[in-house]
Chain A
Amino acid sequence: MKSKPNSKSVIVTKNVKKWFGDFQALDGISMDIKEKEVVVICGPSGSGKSTFIRCLNRLEQHQEGDVFVNGIELTNDLKNIDAVRSEIGMVFQSFNLFPHLTVIQNITLAPIWVRKKTRTEAEEKAMELLERVGIPEQAEKFPGQLSGGQQQRVAIARALAMEPKIMLFDEPTSALDPEMIKEVLDVMKDLAQAGMTMIVVTHEMGFAKEVCDRVIFFDEGKLVEENNPEDFFNNPKSDRTKLFLSQIL
């Protein structure tokens, strides 16, 4: 059921390095992500996977190397950063919804202010997206009144409202109760099947096996292994990957 990745590259990173003080978080990551590809990044905590995807939309700044998104290089130029951010949607581990706004206001905020859409236009689109993530009846509620799974689905709808070409997921299910994980994963599967380019940091190996095109394993800021899901889970190349898989599977 996987959509065939197209040959066009949308994200290219070359030898990306980043330090937090003396601690090196990323050590020479080079990667090439094609259009409509679904990539899962996994690895132990502190391996730099969240830092890496946060570098892709400049929530963190890399100190060495190059990051190109849709051919635009990420530098300190605010114009480039804005251009890249409007192409990339992001979903966080802790949802980060705006608690002072209702669900529908959360979703329409950026389309109205950043994309300069009219309110009615933005609201129609928002309702469509809420329909897609399965919670149109919660539109007028505040985030605090929703369950974790519902909040995360709102967060996905909020990211989609900007009509991004790429979606980044930073451990989207880690803060959820087990029974809510499924509802969020289902939404993500739908997205993947609809042909969205996705980069997902997750420990949900079921999702990786079922949906993704490529699994990337990080350890200590290095890209240790890059493989298709079958080979990754059945005969991993590196010992470090074997050890990791034996611990979580």
Chain B
Amino acid sequence: MKSIQNTQLRWVRDNLFSSIGSTILTLITGYMVITAYRGTVGFIFSPMRQWPAITYNMQLYMIFNYMEEESWRAWASVGVALILAGITLGYWNKGEKKSFNQIVAGLFKTFSTLSVLVLLSPSETEVMHNDGSREMVQVISSNQRMNFLIPIAVVTLLSFLLSRFSITRAFNKTKVVLFYLSFPVALGWIIKVPTITFDAAGERIEPDLFLPVATTTTIPWTILYVVLWVSFFVGQFLQKKEIKSLKRTIPLSWFVLPLYLFSWLYKKPVVELDKVLMNDIPGVLIFSVIGFLIIQYITDERFSKYRNYLAAGFFATTAAILFLRIPFLFKVLTFSVVLLLLVAPAIANTKEGKRQLLIVWLVVIAVLAFLLRGSGSPTGIITPTGSFLGGFSLTWVLAIFGTYVSFPFGVLLALGRTSSLPLIRIICTGIIEIVRSVPYITWLFFASVMMTVFMPEGVEFNLIIRVLIVTAFFSGAYFAENIRGGLQSISKGQYDAANAIGMNAFQRIFLVVLPQALRAVVPTLVGSVITAFKDSSLVAIIGLFDTLRIATSVVPTQSNPVNFVGTQLDNLLFIALFYWMFCFTFSRRSMKIEKKLGLGER
């Protein structure tokens, strides 16, 4: 520890006070930073702020006007995601360790910084009243300051003392992170937030009270936290059992998860049984048989000659029935047959390959039928605005669809655009160019106003699904162009090498070309992800209620039961923080991924 402190001191000397000039600069910038910090804290804690507008309306921000009695579905959605997250963390745990000393040093750093920040915070700030008069008001009383300072100082001191002992124990890195997550969960039980209360007559009690976080928030979070730990251990158990199949199942589950949450758990579809019996089950059965026949006979001499004609035939059929009044499932599955015909010769060339491909095919069509039934059925969630998604849930769904549903779509478009088959190339280039040359907002209007005109009679998607389709196309086109850039960076030698060791086109693309191409474009891809996340706020234009719209026009117009009119500033600050938090996390993650992939090293 002593050596660490010495090196830190040396760092300070070398970087901040190396010469007279740099000393002056350090002092000036230091003064500016501290002033800005004190100003910000004063602003945040000023009595003029109406933070209850956020804490009181948190439910609006999260799920908007989702039915109260169904709100467990929102929690369950988070829960299912956390279960999968926990299992993934446990299963893919490499057992990286973090030594006790590192943990303690980290705690010391964080908490000593915090204590300095608390000491530097101002005790009063200037506020301006409506008549233009200015006044200094207290923001943090010495009592409050002590309330913050004492626990922080205790932890600082404790970690400092612990660092004096040389304890050699090390802990699993992931477990340490999970342990840190307990802090916010525990804080939920301890801290008090500004809340609004009413007396018996329904009048707002002034001054506003600080109340503990409601148990309707803390209890679910605590349960979710426990669920995360449990599924982490389940994941570790599966890792010890060496269940190999999970290696492919888990990434696929991550792909299906948002679709499932969106179309079933969160949506609560009202499924009509006769449609399941008349459409879904026959559809799945018919296409199981078609798939089985293709897989069985694809390598047969007499049959394989007609493979390309067959693929073209199914493709033409897809185009032909696109606007016919037949169940959507059949259209999707007809198109899937085209893909199957393209993929099958590469995989179904052995008995084992045939068996595996058949299983994959059956699972894919069953999952497709299940998800399409969910998304095609009317929702059982009745809301005044007619949309079961709103606020954070809407932003999140749009961001997910804007990224990883459109991502594989973008990959396919990029591959298609660089394909040597003219028909595929022209179609893909056409889609990309048409989608990209029209602004996103125009596409949103297209989704809200025009798309129903194009849909065949009887097929009706609700607005959100139409927006999602448009979003998937729009960000898909952008992804495609990014990925195409990556594909072009692959040298011809790589293709030669892959050909020379006997790889077929499919293996060449997915084992050699795409991994390198995607690696080369990770930074731009993350840029697209962040853009898609922020662009989701544009849906406010066509009448959907995303997080930003709730902050700007729902909360500030509320006057019943509590008057929040005119609280725009506070809401916008909260939203800014919210967007920043997620975008910053994305960009940090991407930096880590880039480092892991060794970008710029090779």
Q: Chain A: residues with CB nearer than 8 A to chain B?
A: 54, 57-59, 78, 82, 85-86, 88-90, 92, 94, 96-100, 109-110, 113-114, 116, 142-144, 155, 158-159, 162
Contacts and interface: CB of A to CB of B under 8 A. Distances in A.
List the 4 shortest-distance A-B pairs measured between CB atoms, nearest first.
Answer: A96-B497, A144-B602, A110-B501, A96-B493
Contact of A82 (B504, B519, B598, B601): B504
Contact of B519 (A100, A109, A158): A100
Contacts of A96: 491, 493-494, 496-497
A182 B598 CA distance: 31
B515 interface: yes
A113 B496 contact: no
B494 A85 contact: no
Interface of B: 350, 352, 491, 493-494, 496-497, 499-504, 507, 511-512, 515-516, 519, 597-598, 601-602
A114 B516 contact: no
Nearest to B510: A113
B511 A109 contact: yes
Contact of A85 (B350, B491, B502, B601): B502
A158 B494 CA distance: 13
Contacts of A78: 504
A113 B511 contact: yes
Contacts of B602: 99, 142-144
Contacts of B352: 116
A241 B507 CA distance: 43
A90 B597 CA distance: 28
B516 A159 contact: no
Contacts of B491: 96
A57 B500 contact: yes
Contacts of A57: 499-500
A90 B500 contact: yes
A92 B507 contact: no
B502 A114 contact: yes
B350 A116 contact: yes
A113 B347 CA distance: 10
10 contacts: A59-B496, A59-B499, A85-B502, A90-B500, A96-B497, A99-B602, A114-B501, A116-B352, A155-B497, A159-B500
A249 to B, nearest CB: 30
B512 A98 contact: yes
B500 A100 contact: no
Interface centre among A100, A110, A114 (most CB of B within 10 A): A100
Contacts of A88: 500
A99 B520 CA distance: 12
A162 B501 contact: yes
A114 B507 contact: yes
Contacts of A90: 496-497, 500
Nearest to A93: B493
A133 to B, nearest CB: 16
